[in-house]
Structure 1
C-alpha cells in the first residue's frame, strides 16, 4: 500500500513538472506570436518553430495545447486500461479518458475549420476590401493574387490541411495503439454485465422460492 502511494506521488510530481514545462513553453510561444518577445539564434528547434509558425500563423497556439492534451489523455487511457483487469474501479477513468481523446480530436478538426474560415475572410478583406474597379484593373489578377498570399490565404489553407490530416492521424493512432485493449475492455464489461444480470436472475429466483415456501398450502 505504501509503495503504491509512493509511486502515485512520484507520478503526480512528474506530471506537475511536465505540465509546468509545457505551459511555460506555450506562454513563450504566445508572447513570440504576439510580437512581445522574439526568438533568435539558429538552433534547429527555433528554426523548426519559425517554419511551422510561418505556415500556420496564430493557429499553432491552439493546435499545440490540443495535441498535448491528446497525448496526455492517451497515456492516461493506456495506464487505466492496463490497470482495469486488477482494479475494476478504473472503469470510470477509461470512459473519461477515451471520451477526452475524442474531444481533443474533434477540437483539432474544429481549429482547422475555424482558422480556415477566419484566414480566408481576413485575406479577402485585407486584399480586396475597399478596392475600386479601377484599382483592381491596375492591380490585375496576379497583383490581387499576390495580395491574397501576402495577407494569409496560404496560412488559411494550411490550417485546413493540418487540422484534417492531423485529426485523422490522431484517430488512427488511437485505433492502432489502443484498439485491441479497448476491444478487450468492452468485452470484459459485457461479460461483467452478463454476470450481474444472471446473478440478479438467480437472486430473484431464490427470493421467489422463499416466498413460495412461506405461502400457506391449500389442504
Structure 2
C-alpha cells in the first residue's frame, strides 16, 4: 500500500503529544484562504509505502517512545487517502506506536470511519463556526464537516478541536459563541486548541503566484488569544 506525500518531519513537536514523526500527505479539497501550506493542495508525484514509513520511523523510535510521542499523519487532507492511512495506522499500532490523525473532516463519512478504527487521537481543524464565514474562508459548506466532527466525538476518546484565531474574523463574539455551541453540543466534549493566526505562509502563496485573500490582516496577539481563551473557559470548555 502506498500513499502520495508532500514532506516528512522526523522531530515534530507541535502536531500532537511528545516528539512525533509527522507525515504530510499531498492533496486537499478545501483550499483555505489562510492556509500556511498551500503547496500541499495538489497531489504530487512523490509516493511512499507503509513499510517505508515504518522503516524510517525505526531510526528514531527511541525518541518517540521515550517522549510519549508517535506517528502523526497530516496534510493536505489525509482522509483523501483513507486506504493508505488506515493501513499505515494499523501497522503502526501493531508496532507499538501511538497514532494521531490531523484532519479538516471534509471527506466522505466512510473515509473517516475506516481510519478512526486504527487511530489513537484526532486533531480536528474547524475553520469557522458560522456557515457564512466558513464558506468565505474555504469556499465550502461545513455541514459535512460538522457531521464528521459529531461522529469523531462518538468514536474517539482523545479528540482535540483546533481553531485558528483570525483577528476580526474567527475571533468575534458571534463566531466564538457559535464555536462554543458546536463544542458543547457534541456527545463527548473535546479539548479546544486555539491557534493564533500568523502571516508566515504568505511567501508560499507568492511563490505559487496565488493571490492571498487575507492581505492586511495582522497576526493574532497574545491579548486577543487570552480573551478568546477566557470566553471559552467561561462557557465551560477546556482550552489548551
TM-score by length of structure 1 reads 0.23
TM-score by length of structure 2 reads 0.22
More helix by share: 1
